[in-house]
Chains A and B, each alone.
Chain A
Amino acid sequence: MSSTTNSPTHHTSTIGAIGAPSRRNTELALLIFAVAIPVFAYANVGLAIDNRVPSGLLSYGLGLGLLAGVAHLVVRKFAPYADPLLLPLATLLNGLGLVVIWRLDQSKLLQAIGQAGDKAPNQLMYTAMGIALFVVALIFLKDHRVLQRYTYISMVAALVLLLLPLVPGLGLPVYGAKIWIHVGSFSIQPGEFAKIVLAVFFAGYLMVKRDALALASRRFMGLYLPRGRDLGPILVVWVISILILVFETDLGTSLLFFGMFVIMLYVATERTSWIVFGLLMSAVGAVGVASFEPHVHQRVQAWLNPMNEYKLSRSGAPGMHSEQLQQALWAFGSGGTLGSGLGQGHSDLIRFAANSDFILATFGEELGLAGIMAILLIYGLIVERGVRTALAARDPFGKLLAIGLSGAFALQVFVVSGGVMGLIPLTGMTMPFLAYGGSSVIANWALIGVLIRISDTARRPAPAPASNPDAEMTQVVRP
């Protein structure tokens, strides 16, 4: 205790190492909870709409439980030290999304315009495919550092994925935004997969270049100004994201692409100036494109004046006018603090895309502010676990990859929820896990799989040091 008496002004503390527990049982308990909540919600919807517990309750609960169980067993076997929260949080969001999609399937209004009816079974199938990809990622990706080898291949792959919707015959504009490709009867949103591949490229690239980007700089007015030639990469990425905005007319993909790069650049170099540059460049780009590109301009107008847009749409004015945003805002408003209760809202009045882009409005109306806050917190927790994984990761590539993936996830949640709530112009992206759509669910399960792989590596206790043969006890052999 002499240290305490010697220096009373300093803090005194004892540090002892604690081994990392594997926490798989915690994950299992949380997972059971995360499956039980959607089952409760399912029963609640059935009781509210049909006055009886829905007949599909057992099969639905078993389906979700089985998928979650498989995922848990694979994590237990192949990533025993992984973060215990990522899987349950993703499962809960996916389950809640399934319930609300099923709830919108019951709407006569949506059935009449072919927007609902059989979406929930499809979504369950997509979930199964997503979990399958998650399992494959965990089994075949033994070490995330393998991805480092494919830095430039991922760059090419990401560019191809991003440009696919522009190929004539393959890409098809869906209500203005060209972010879909059609293969046979399937339609895929390649941007969802591109974000994972891009994170791999940015991580591999920045890991090599970060010293040049961080150290060679001049200080000017409290900011570190990078050298002109080091601005190259950020300019290239900026130009590509502007091109996406111009040719695919989708603000979301563009923002996601550029925002992820700026986040990773900041994390790699610790220079605030990159964030300042990034914000300036995206503001300039967005304003510039919004004034020239009609589709983007129309989205911005709808964002600034949703009520006006609603009136134009109702009065049948020429041009593309959408009443969705105003409908969504009304849905949020009528939900109030505690919501109208599952199955008792009227968010199906949004009609088009009520179960995909605008699914958050249904949550807002039926669960209210309290429910939306909980859901956004669950998203926040996923991002927090991703950032935590990045902090704990020992290799710079893993750090950057984890930050990139969780940053992209966070940006996507922000862009979609901000768009639906009228904070920023609406985009064509979907809420991860909640919204109806195969690409989104599958890609986000893969993203969670990669994060779980990195967190397993990061949290795995260091192997015991190899015993030194010289230090072994010498045996004396006597005759």
Chain B
Amino acid sequence: MSELTLTVMRLGFLAVLWLFVIVAVQVIRSDLFGTRVTQRGARRDAGRPQQAARQAAPPQQRGQQAGGRQRRNAPTKLVVTEGTLTGTTVALQGQTITLGRAHDSTIVLDDDYASSRHARIYPDRDGQWIVEDLGSTNGTYLDRSRLTTPTPIPLGAPIRIGKTVIELRK
């Protein structure tokens, strides 16, 4: 076997080996799932049409679920207004939102006063959003009152969990 062929095979083998490593790392990169965080602000214009489309769709879905009754003043997003996550928004698309320190929560609170599964926010049959305390240690507050039962959330009312305050907005 000629020297040249062997050299080519030697370098080719190393290249293939490294290609495998790189492909594996790419798989890891695409494998990071859980919550998708879309950074806005820097490329706000690029993100906007998508965002608009995403927010336009849910009310229709909810409307259909609620037997064709379209709610006015239905909130479209949940906004964190105080705490370490200030500025974070979550689009309300009919899914249940869990809050707590557990890492599989929709909003993971880094707060010593929050329980691991602290509260959840979900739509009822009419598309009205409800907040429910999940037996947390320090309680969930809607405006100034501590929650004891699942309670409908008025638009813009502050929900306080430890140092974090969230509210629903249109």
| Chain A interface (Cβ < 8 Å from any Cβ of B) | 1-4, 7-8, 10-21, 23, 26, 30, 33-34, 37, 40-41, 44, 47-48, 51, 84-85, 88-89, 92, 338-342, 344, 367-368, 370-371, 374-375, 377-378, 381, 384-385, 388, 391, 394, 462, 465, 471
Minimum CB–CB distance from B134 to chain A (whole Å) comes to 13
Minimum CB–CB distance from B110 to chain A (whole Å) comes to 14
- The answer for the CA separation of A394 and B102 in the assembled complex, in Å, is 9
What are 14 pairs between A and B in contact, CB < 8 Å?
Answer: A2-B169, A4-B44, A11-B41, A15-B36, A15-B37, A16-B90, A26-B27, A30-B23, A33-B20, A37-B17, A37-B20, A48-B6, A342-B10, A342-B13
Are B125 and A384 in touch, CB under 8 angstroms? no
Minimum CB–CB distance from A75 to chain B (whole Å) comes to 15
- The answer for the CA separation of A14 and B169 in the assembled complex, in Å, is 14
Are A11 and B10 in touch, CB under 8 angstroms? no
Given A14-B91, A17-B95, A17-B106, A37-B16 contact (CB < 8 Å): yes
Are B35 and A16 in touch, CB under 8 angstroms? yes
Given A4-B41, A13-B89, A368-B14, A47-B1 contact (CB < 8 Å): yes
Given A14-B40, A47-B1, A341-B20 contact (CB < 8 Å): no
| Cβ contacts under 8 Å, A10 to chain B | 86-87
Are A15 and B35 in touch, CB under 8 angstroms? yes
Chain B residue at minimal CB-CB distance from A371? B14
Are B17 and A11 in touch, CB under 8 angstroms? no
The list of the 5 closest CB pairs from A to B, nearest first, reads: A10-B87, A341-B10, A12-B87, A374-B17, A10-B86
| Chain B interface (Cβ < 8 Å from any Cβ of A) | 1, 5-7, 9-14, 16-18, 20-21, 23-25, 27-28, 31, 33-41, 44, 51, 79, 81, 86-91, 93, 95-96, 103-104, 106-107, 125, 169
| Cβ contacts under 8 Å, B5 to chain A | 47
| Cβ contacts under 8 Å, B87 to chain A | 3-4, 7, 10-13
- The answer for the CA separation of A18 and B6 in the assembled complex, in Å, is 48
| Cβ contacts under 8 Å, A391 to chain B | 103
Chain A residue at minimal CB-CB distance from B93? A16
- The answer for the CA separation of A248 and B36 in the assembled complex, in Å, is 52
- The answer for the CA separation of A234 and B91 in the assembled complex, in Å, is 49
Contact of A51 among B1, B12, B28, B81 (CB under 8 A): B1
| Cβ contacts under 8 Å, B35 to chain A | 15-18
Are A378 and B21 in touch, CB under 8 angstroms? yes
| Cβ contacts under 8 Å, A342 to chain B | 9-10, 13
Are A18 and B36 in touch, CB under 8 angstroms? yes
- The answer for the CA separation of A368 and B11 in the assembled complex, in Å, is 11
Minimum CB–CB distance from A388 to chain B (whole Å) comes to 8
Contact of B40 among A4, A462, A471 (CB under 8 A): A4
Chain B residue at minimal CB-CB distance from A374? B17
Most chain-B Cβ atoms within 10 A of its Cβ — which of A13, A23, A92? A13
Minimum CB–CB distance from B26 to chain A (whole Å) comes to 10
| Cβ contacts under 8 Å, B103 to chain A | 391
Minimum CB–CB distance from A471 to chain B (whole Å) comes to 6
Are B6 and A13 in touch, CB under 8 angstroms? no
Given A40-B16, A84-B27, A15-B33 contact (CB < 8 Å): no
Chain B contact surface mostly: mixed
Given A14-B40, A47-B5, A85-B24 contact (CB < 8 Å): yes
Are A12 and B40 in touch, CB under 8 angstroms? yes
Are B9 and A13 in touch, CB under 8 angstroms? no
Are B27 and A371 in touch, CB under 8 angstroms? no
| Cβ contacts under 8 Å, B34 to chain A | 17-18
Most chain-B Cβ atoms within 10 A of its Cβ — which of A14, A88, A377, A385? A14
Minimum CB–CB distance from B1 to chain A (whole Å) comes to 5
Minimum CB–CB distance from A97 to chain B (whole Å) comes to 14
- The answer for the CA separation of A47 and B33 in the assembled complex, in Å, is 44
Are B24 and A30 in touch, CB under 8 angstroms? yes
Are A341 and B9 in touch, CB under 8 angstroms? yes
Minimum CB–CB distance from B92 to chain A (whole Å) comes to 11
- The answer for the CA separation of A37 and B14 in the assembled complex, in Å, is 10
| Cβ contacts under 8 Å, B40 to chain A | 4, 12-14
- The answer for the CA separation of A12 and B81 in the assembled complex, in Å, is 11
| Cβ contacts under 8 Å, A371 to chain B | 13-14, 17
Are B24 and A18 in touch, CB under 8 angstroms? no
| Cβ contacts under 8 Å, B9 to chain A | 44, 47-48, 341-342
Chain A residue at minimal CB-CB distance from B98? A17
Minimum CB–CB distance from B111 to chain A (whole Å) comes to 16
- The answer for the CA separation of A247 and B84 in the assembled complex, in Å, is 55
- The answer for the CA separation of A384 and B25 in the assembled complex, in Å, is 11
- The answer for the CA separation of A335 and B169 in the assembled complex, in Å, is 65
- The answer for the CA separation of A342 and B95 in the assembled complex, in Å, is 56
Are A89 and B88 in touch, CB under 8 angstroms? no
Chain B residue at minimal CB-CB distance from A341? B10
Minimum CB–CB distance from B88 to chain A (whole Å) comes to 6
Are B38 and A47 in touch, CB under 8 angstroms? no
- The answer for the CA separation of A8 and B106 in the assembled complex, in Å, is 23
- The answer for the CA separation of A39 and B95 in the assembled complex, in Å, is 49
Given A11-B39, A13-B40, A341-B7 contact (CB < 8 Å): yes
| Cβ contacts under 8 Å, B10 to chain A | 44, 338-342, 344
Minimum CB–CB distance from B79 to chain A (whole Å) comes to 5
- The answer for the CA separation of A88 and B88 in the assembled complex, in Å, is 38
Minimum CB–CB distance from B170 to chain A (whole Å) comes to 9
Minimum CB–CB distance from B133 to chain A (whole Å) comes to 17
Minimum CB–CB distance from A360 to chain B (whole Å) comes to 15
Are A47 and B24 in touch, CB under 8 angstroms? no
